[in-house]
Amino acid sequence: MANHKSALKRIRSNETKRLSNRYYHKTMRNALRKYRATTDAKELEDQLPKVASMIDRLAKKNVIHKNKAGNLKSSLVRHLDTVKG
């Protein structure tokens, strides 16, 4: 167990951040799942900026890696292109 007050505080704050990051990461995964299940091109075009924005925010906060964010956004656009035909 930690001996210093600051170490104890760090443990508490890390746990709080971990739970918050876990929530946002799961929310992003659910949004991606919903996006990929959609087959209507018009609806996908409406959803794309929202989902891409969510991915960018998580990459900015280091919840996900910036390269993973780029790969995810790329796959979203590819999905949209395949649905458009």
Residue 13 has pLDDT above 80, yes or no: yes
User: DSSP code of 64?
Assistant: S
Q: What is the pLDDT of residue 81?
A: 96
Computed on alpha carbons and rounded to an integer, the radius of gyration of the chain in Å comes to 17
Greater confidence (84 vs 56) lies with 56
Q: Tell me the whole-structure pTM to 2 decimals.
A: 0.87
% of the chain with per-residue pLDDT over 90: 94
Please write the tens of the pLDDT for every residue from 22-54: 999 999 999 999 999 999 999 999 999 999 999
Of 77, 83, 68, nearest to 28 by C-alpha is 68
Cβ neighbours for 24, distance < 8 A, ≥ 6 positions apart: 58, 61, 63
Q: Residue 4 in 3-state DSSP?
A: coil
Confidence label for 72 from pLDDT (cuts 50, 70 and 90) = very high
Mean pLDDT taken over the chain: 96
Q: Give the separation between CA 45 and CA 43, rounded to whole angstroms.
A: 5
Given a contact cutoff of 8 angstroms between Cβ atoms, the answer to whether 41 and 83 are in contact is yes
